[in-house]
Amino acid sequence: MRMTVTYHLRLKDKPSVLVDARSITPDSFAGKQLNGILSLRILEGGRQITLQDLFDVDGPSEAPKDPGEIAIVIDGSINKISFVGYKMSKGSITINGDAGHFIGYRMRGGSIVVHGNVRNYLGAKMRDGSIEVFGNAEHWIGAKLLGEKPGKGMKGGTIIIHGNAGSEIGSGMKSGTIIIDGDAGNSVGNHMVGGTIIIKGNCGLYPGLEMSSGRIVINGSVEALLPSFYVDSLIQPLKVKGITFNKSFMSFIGDALVGGHGLLQVSYEDNKELLEEFRKLLE
């Protein structure tokens, strides 16, 4: 039976500038003596410091060699601390407070749970694993970086946000699942080439902008749809990723501007005025 050891990190003083803490990951801790963990490199602005300069750390004197046997618990708001969980492959990270940018960036496995809000690029370019946020998230969840080609975003894994989210969720994603329990901003799933995005609340402008494949489900109202999506059908109920929506959804195919065949499914009941002309085309 696998035994998990836990390292507790408590922030000493809140940083005044952004911090690059990509060394806070089970992979970086694995196989190290406690002194080696305390000496891990951190960048505070442009200044190099160590983990012990920023956090009080409690844990065993030696970490297991397998990162899957390591749990990291961070207590307190770290909304100025970025890159936690960078490239992690196993193990778990729990953040009891708000978190910064690029949490779980390039993540390859394991789990991250945030009991607070997170900033931009949560789970960007992740390949596997799970991220769950019991709060709100800002922009570019599971996304590619600006200027990168479609398909360079999220390639696997699951992200669940129990609050609201910002714009360009899943931008350029190739695979995986993103679920937003609340509302989302503009351009959800822009440039996506695969994967699934589910918005249980309302959505802003132009979901699916230049998507070529994948699936977007909007359970609430939508501010505006692109004219380059073609209506396909009206269905009820809708089942996706183990979730059943017991109401009518209108399905669209697009984005035709890029020759796309992605699936955009929008609640008919919450968008009757917007979708009425499309319904007539299906009769």
In the predicted model, is pLDDT for residue 1 greater than 70?
no
Whether 2 has a pLDDT exceeding 90, the answer reads no
- Given a contact cutoff of 8 angstroms between Cβ atoms, the answer to whether 108 and 89 are in contact is yes
What percentage of residues in the chain have a pLDDT greater than 70? 100
Q: What's the rounded Cα separation, in Å, for the pair 67 and 249?
A: 43
pLDDT digits (tens, 9 = 90+) for 53-77: 999 999 999 999 999 999 999 999 9
Quickly count: other Cβ atoms within 10 Å of residue 182's Cβ.
Answer: 16
Q: Is 105 helix (H, G, I), strand (E, B) or coil?
A: coil
- Of the CA atoms within 13 Å of residue 206, those in its CB half-sphere come to 14
Structure tokens at 140: 């570019």
Q: Any idea where the domains of the chain sit in the sequence?
A: 1-119, 124-283
Our measurement of the distance from residue 96's CA atom to the centroid of its chain's CA atoms, rounded to an integer in Å, reads: 17
pTM, two decimals, is: 0.97
- SS3 at position 111: strand
pLDDT in tens, 204-232: 999 999 999 999 999 999 999 999 999 99
Look-up of token digits 């977007």: 216
Structural element, H or E, at residue 172: none
My answer on whether omega of the bond before 237 falls inside 30° of 0, hence cis, is yes
C-alpha R_g of the chain: 21
**How much is the pLDDT for 3?**
85
Cis, bond preceding 67 (omega within 30 deg of 0) = no
Helix ranges (DSSP H) in the chain: 26-29, 34-38, 51-54, 272-282
